[in-house]
Amino acid sequence: MRVAMISMHTSPLQQPGVGDAGGMNVYVLSTATHLARRGIQVDVYTRATRPSQGEIVEVEKNLRVINIVAGPYEGVEKEELPTQLTAFAGGVWQFVRCHNLGYDLIHSHYWLSGQVGWLLRDLFDIPFVHTAHTLAAVKNTYRAAEDTPESEARRICEQQLVDNADLLVVNTEEEAQDLVTYYDATKAKIAVVAPGADTELFSPGDGRATELARRQLGIPLPAKVVAFIGRLQTFKGPQVLIKAVAELVKRDPERNMRVLICGGASGQSTNPHEYRDLACELGVERRIRFLDPRPPEELVTIYRAADVVAVPSYNETFGLVAIEAQASGTPVVAARTGGLPIAVAEGETGLLVEGHEATAWADALEEILDDDEGRQRMARQAVHHAATFSWDASAEHLAELYQEVIDAEVTPSKNRDALGGGK
């Protein structure tokens, strides 16, 4: 089997936490890698952002990343990428023709890639699978009041993909229901594939792992440590954590607490200094350290150094950070939204918080930080919970779905109702 994956707006090889790179990058690279190890040939098409990348990157056996030139290398924000959809689709088509490639299936990730996949499906006459990762209607429903809404144009493009894809792959049952509720999707053509985590890399380590991690990061050993890992944007909620920390310090000025915020600014409207400014404004700048985005092999040090990882997002289709933290033996305090109630076993591996008010988040953090025995119990249970999510299982399920779509011969020239996808 040969699969063309499309991840136009961000390369799976890009550092998560930088610009628009995040959990989706981890998902695409991890699933593609494990599919390749099953003998499936995977080419991931992405937009070239610098000439030094080269056109073809051989990641490992059966897995390549193809960098397609579409527009200038730099200076094109994600919001401007719709202007390059034609150039990108043309670049993919030209590459396929020049290299005489034949694919059995297209799998696109995110709505921009979906628009390209939809076009190429008709050109190649092969099945088209789409994963949204985030949806405009859902983001607008859950966004913070001060956050910029997603455009109606994006919502319309997503509706087109829901109507025309042969199969929609989602992370959770809740995401499947969102497609039905907000986009009138047909349930029969939605498949739930749970993401995984690299549980070999993200692990608790030995008995001195926390001590070593804190020494490496220069954190006092007796301090209680809260970590946030993700893009610095309102939707991810770093401001929620900062305000909650200020509330905790107000309650107990002598609290021995440190906060690590690891990530980079994301989006045109994001001021890279706004979260540092907020910490200064609230008087907690000495408690909070901002770290640049780090590769996975360094992120594990942050997870191990923390007593708890906070995931205050306004919505997450799943929440890979929550799973990675638990795999590393660290409990999680997360928002009760999207797929996070699945990623976190409430009361067993962490706590879930209703809403995003600073007092509610301070209450939850205070509860878990002050209960050493309960927190340590959660840490042990977190490792076992995270072990139930694996990328190999995700790839196995995807491979089965791919084969079903191919066997059903659901192509533009045939009967798309075979998967219940007819309207």
CA 69 to CA 280: how far, in whole Å?
Answer: 42
Instruction: Tell me whether residue 330 is annotated as binding.
Output: yes
Q: Which CATH number fits domain 209-386: 3.40.640.10, 3.40.50.2000, 1.10.3720.10, 1.10.1660.10?
A: 3.40.50.2000
Is 208 among the annotated ligand-binding positions?
no
Q: Is 388 annotated as a binding residue?
A: no
33 carries a ligand binding annotation: no
| Inter-CA distances, 377 with 33, 348, 370, Å | 34, 8, 13
147 labeled binding residue = no
Is 21 labeled as ligand-binding? yes
**2 labelled ligand-binding:** no
Confirm or deny that 50 is annotated as ligand binding: no
CATH class belonging to 2-196+391-419: alpha beta
Identify how many contiguous H helices and E strands the chain contains and give both numbers.
15, 14
Burial degree of 221 (CB within 10 A; 0-12, 13-18, 19+): exposed
Q: Where are the domains of the chain?
A: 2-196+391-419, 209-386
The answer to whether 214 is annotated as binding is no
Q: Is 236 annotated as a binding residue?
A: yes
Residue 303 annotated as binding site: yes
Q: What is the pLDDT along the chain (423 residues), one digit of tens a residue?
A: 999 999 998 889 887 655 666 778 889 999 999 999 999 999 999 999 888 888 999 999 999 999 999 988 887 887 889 999 999 999 999 999 999 999 999 999 999 999 999 999 999 999 999 999 999 999 999 888 878 899 999 999 999 999 999 999 999 999 999 999 999 999 999 999 999 889 889 999 887 999 999 999 999 999 999 999 998 989 899 999 999 999 999 999 999 999 999 998 876 555 768 999 999 999 999 999 999 989 888 999 999 999 999 999 998 888 899 999 999 999 999 999 988 999 999 999 999 999 999 999 999 999 999 999 999 999 999 999 999 998 999 999 999 999 999 999 644 444 334 333 333
Taking CB atoms within 8 Å and a gap of at least 24, the contacts of 157-162 are 157/111, 157/114, 157/115, 158/111, 158/114, 158/132, 158/183, 159/183, 160/115, 160/118, 161/108, 161/111, 161/114, 161/115, 161/118, 161/130, 161/132
Strands of 128-131's sheet in order across: 56-60, 63-68, 41-47, 2-6, 105-109, 128-131, 167-170, 190-192
Is 209-386 the same fold as 2-196+391-419? Answer: yes
The answer to whether the annotation marks 231 as part of a ligand binding site is: yes
